[in-house]
Chains A and B, each alone.
Chain A
Amino acid sequence: MDWLRVGETFKLRVRRENPATKTGPAYQEFDVPYEPGLTVLEALLHAKESFDHSIAIRFSCRMASCGSCGMLINGLPRLACYTQVNEMSATTIKVDPLDHYPLVRDLVTDFHGFFEKHKSVSPFLLRQNVAEQETSKSEYYQTNSELDGFLQFSYCIKCGLCNAACPTMASDSKFLGPQALGQAYRYVADSRDEGAIQRLKAVDHEHGIWRCHFAGSCSFVCPKGVDPALAIQKLRGLTLSKSSASRAGTSLMPVKTTK
């Protein structure tokens, strides 16, 4: 059942703040006309284009593929393009910038640290024979079950909602966070990868996998169905089996996970 009806208006409350000019924070309210299927992004663009051109907001694809428009919508990290006004079951929609990121302005946050953490886990396929990797005459074979071993983790669109939802990110700004750890596992779990040792080393520290205390909020808010909490569990398991294997004098190189 529709919470709002065509022709009704609802309140859109937008948090405005510009740290550079020490303006705000303050909430600005707009009355936006409702229509079926209206997304929070469309409502914000209506406000920006019709009422106040200065609202700072980041957006692009409007189809939950590009990961630009993450924000807090009535307190929850969501993509604005992927949230219909009606599904919020509220007559007021309040939007705030994502938590745990430095604020640039209004709803726009700084992702520099986010991309750096992602880079730190070597998020690319590592092969021992690089020359062979760069010659391209045929494929590495991969079965469908090997593909299934990592596919869900590769749906990550780098929208950063998981890091905004993570309570550990709030207390430890150096924590690698669910996004980077999820992507570390995505490559470790790929049957074609031979870089598990290097990558496990990059996450095996006090601001890495051991910091997570499994609130599970990352997996709850992911708009693409990725389960970073599971990835972190799996990374812990692999790290433990690697250290017991090295104590026993056996080599696990390369670590592979297949069903």
Chain B
Amino acid sequence: MSETLTFDIVIVGSGIAGLRAAIEAARVSDSKSSIAVITKVQAMRSHSVSAEGGTAAVLYPDKGDTFESHIYDTIKGSDFLADQDAVDFFVRAMPAEIYQLEHLGMPWSRTEDGRIAQRNFGGYNFPRATFAADRVGFFEMQTLYDTTRKFDNIQFFQEWFVTSLIVDHGTFRGLTTIDMKTGDFHPFNAKAGIIATGGAGRLYRFATFGYSSTPDGLSLAYRAGAPIMDMEFVQFHPTGLIPSGILITEGARGDGAVLINKDGERFMKRYAPQKLDLASRDVVSRAIMTEIQEGRGLKDSVSGMNYVLLDLRHLGAEKINERLSGIREIALKFKGIDPINEPLPIRPVCHYTMGGVKTNISAETPIAGLWAAGEAACVSINGANRLGANSTAECLVFGAQSGAGAAKYVMAQPTRSLDIQSVAQDEKRVFDEILHGSGSENPYEIRNEAQTIMDKYVYVYRTGTGLEQGLRELRALHRRAFRHVDDQAREYNSNFINVLELESMFEISEIILVGGLNRTESRGAHSRTDYPKRDDEHWLKHTLVYYKADEPRLDYAPVTITNYQPTERHY
């Protein structure tokens, strides 16, 4: 074991939520708290940089937008599984976040009169997706990261991998890490922790996510005793470019692009007569898969993937170059197609996990001294289906909540000594059982098989028998001998890190399968052909999953309903 590092607040993750948390904690503590941002990637490499289309906020009440409209659109989008008090808080906090970013240098796109521009997005009754061309997440990351450079009390630990949280009698005390550059094992003694590790989308093979989006953070909190909420709700974005899965922003449809099948038909009119291509994502993804299953899709000869088309041609070169230059660059480079001249081949792609570590409106988890924010958390404002442009927004609002909460908390807490026994225990697990473990199987092949199980059984449409089969296959795969590391070097051993990530992938995949199998209804993104209807009588409730050594323990919690009673959704 190497030197123990001591901080007031440790933030795990350096995406939008983690950076926003760091800035707020630095401000609230008036630069008095010491803040560590621990990230397994370098600064600016987090997957938040890939967010494209927009960040939702009510900026123009003078033009007819209202808080109530954003609140209701979000709740309706969630298929009434969102907690309505949380949505209310979130929507009212958002405009200040947009202006705050702007004051920090965010290059928002502008209207003719120099104000912040907004575009249309799916599921909204007002064009409230605030945008900076189609590189919104990247610019938000840049603005926040650059701003952290102002604060001397924010220290980055880049390419440090967190292996466990240290929790003593229900209170967070610190965590253990591997410094990837040297291979050294360092405990951190900290009064408060914030989990901001993003989504778990690399549980799937066909995903918009970068390779780093594995569920390490969820697994840390889960093993430390925090419940994981609503993980069976996985969002499949309608427009993943085949075969890479790279995201084509919903902003394309917001700006007028349309979906067509192999006959050139605008099929969304049969599924969402009012909102058409701008229905919520779960609705559009189901429509695409129904088109494909009923023989109206196309098939890519190289990858064997079925797809439909996203047509941007009628938008014209000027609009595409001004507002959608990023996706044109992507389509040209990764598919050799210019959307100015040709429609893009797309299909639903794993894009977001609605579930995460359970928190309240203050971003607190049930573990004292531990907060969670962003995609890693579940407040829940997204319920069973998130609306586009609400994710980067959620990272900002609840990142700030967690930073402020942690900063206030640590001022009243004395520094305690770290429980050396739990540190030693994790060091033993990580080094003796994994790095020096033995096995004959290629962990990368095991990972591919695990992802293929998720692609196959837990995609847009699900069945009870499929989920049962998936769970059996996943558990059998988990028993195979992949816990070993061929690379025995200390320095930058990503083979080692990848095997640790794979353990967390098994844990969280199991939670998704178990939660989905138990939930015998269709709600939002969880669509079961054997239970095609929403069942409010039995299932208007959140799934909570707790860690147990043999298999996960399930529990349920009520949904907070304030002003909006559940009704059937139409788009």
Contact = CB atoms under 8 A, between A and B. Distances in A.
Interface of A: 18, 20-21, 35-37, 48-50, 52-54, 56-68, 82, 84, 104-106, 108, 110-111, 115, 118-119, 122-125, 127, 133-134, 136-144, 146-147, 150-151, 154-158, 183, 187, 190, 192-193
Nearest to A23: B489
B554 interface: no
Given A66-B49, A105-B492, A192-B103, 6 more contacts: A21-B491, A106-B492, A123-B149, A139-B99, A139-B103, A154-B139
B181 A104 contact: yes
Given A66-B50, A68-B42, A124-B150, A154 B181 contact: no
Contacts of A144: 110, 112, 114
B105 A124 contact: yes
A136 B100 contact: yes
Interface string B84-128: 000000000001111110111101111011111000000000000
B419 interface: no
Contact of A63 (B147, B330, B442, B444): B330
B571 to A, nearest CB: 29
Chain A to chain B: the 10 pairs with minimum beta-carbon distance, closest first:
A54-B487, A49-B444, A125-B105, A141-B114, A136-B99, A61-B210, A136-B100, A60-B210, A53-B495, A53-B486
Interface string B329-345: 11001111000000000
Nearest to A120: B149
B212 interface: yes
Interface in B525-545: none
Nearest to B103: A133
Contacts of A158: 43-44
Interface residues of B, number: 68
By DSSP majority rule, is chain A's interface helix, strand, loop, or mixed? loop
15 contacts: A18-B491, A20-B491, A37-B244, A53-B495, A54-B493, A56-B493, A65-B138, A68-B45, A125-B104, A139-B116, A142-B114, A143-B110, A144-B114, A147-B107, A147-B109
Nearest to A107: B492
Interface string B145-158: 01101100000101
B493 to A, nearest CB: 8
A141 B108 CA distance: 11
Nearest to B40: A60
Nearest to B243: A37
Given A60-B211, A110-B181, A154-B142, A37 B489 contact: no
Interface of B: 27, 41-47, 49-50, 95-100, 102-105, 107-110, 112-116, 135, 138-139, 142, 146-147, 149-150, 156, 158, 181-182, 210-212, 243-244, 246, 302, 329-330, 333-336, 442-445, 485-487, 489-495
Contacts of A18: 489, 491
A171 B99 CA distance: 43
Contact of A134 (B27, B336, B443): B27
Contacts of B109: 147
Contacts of B329: 64
A133 B147 CA distance: 12
A37 B103 contact: no
